[in-house]
Amino acid sequence: MANKKIRTNKSVGLGGRHRFGIIARLRGYFFAGLLAVAPIGITLWLCWILLKFVDARVTPLIPHAYNPNTYIDPYFPHEIPGVGLIVMIVGLIIIGALTRIFLGRYLVKISENILNKMPVVRSIYSATKQIAETVLKRQSEAFRQVVLFEYPRRGSWAIGFLTGSTKGEVQNLTDDDVVNVFLPTTPNPTSGYLLFIPRRELVPLSMSVEEGIKMIISGGIVTPPDRRSPEQQQIKRIASADGDKPTIGPGSDISEQPLSVNMNAAETPETKDS
């Protein structure tokens, strides 16, 4: 009877299962709230840090007579957030407009000639200019397509971004049709490695570049869905890993298939002409 009474007290009452059920429910509510608030909070926090970073460097450059903080300081002893960002945007617009006229182009050309005559500065300037033109130009696509390839060994796979066809000395030294692939690191996709990989060893993926970046930043937690048709999902492009035996292309157990049209279409006529 005593044992039966003890079991009954554990199953109901203040110290029984009902208590653990409430704790589990509250814990579920907590994580649900955290999941709802964390993305918004982190986004606002990063935007605020960027805003303060720009204001701290641009606002001191504004003349005292034209600084809005000068006139509100007696009534509101705090700086207006975003003044430096607005001034920077307006300044960039004015500079962009000036570069479209003859005088602006002439001044830019003189400045470039001066920088190109400096031994160390000219290397930094030319590299920065080339990267900026590649990334910021509207008609350019810095990352063209997400691809899958073996790295760093057979049977180990990584995703990267196709940045263009390899040209120059690197391509001329190999018989393969080589392409430029950027392999980003996790969780910071701005750093990584530039790899030159034969086109036949790449497997193009259906996910977008944005989805690929999200997957890399999250460390694989955020996985985009496979948008291919059910028939295409049944087709295997990669053979099982077997030592040093190739898993794709010539020498593998699976016959080589042509790459998707998207990968070839990524090379626009402008890219080929360049």
- Please tell me the distance from the alpha carbon of residue 253 to that of residue 248, in angstroms, as a whole number: 8
Task: Give the model confidence (pLDDT) of 64-101 as tens digits.
Answer: 888 887 777 677 777 788 888 898 999 889 888 888 88
Task: Give the model confidence (pLDDT) of 168-202 as tens digits.
Answer: 899 999 888 999 999 998 888 878 999 999 988 89
- Please tell me the distance from the alpha carbon of residue 17 to that of residue 10, in angstroms, as a whole number: 7
Q: Crossing angle for the helix pair 83-98 and 17-58, nearest 10 degrees?
A: 50
Average pLDDT score over residue span 41-54: 91
- Please tell me the distance from the alpha carbon of residue 127 to that of residue 116, in angstroms, as a whole number: 12
Q: Evaluate whether 203 touches 237 at the Cβ level (below 8 Å).
A: yes
Q: In terms of C-beta distances under 8 Å and separation of at least 24 residues, what long-range contacts does 85-89 make, across chains too?
A: 85/51, 85/54, 85/55, 85/58, 87/58, 87/59, 87/62, 88/54, 88/58
CA distances from 158 to 13, 21, 146, 197, 215 (A): 54, 42, 10, 13, 12
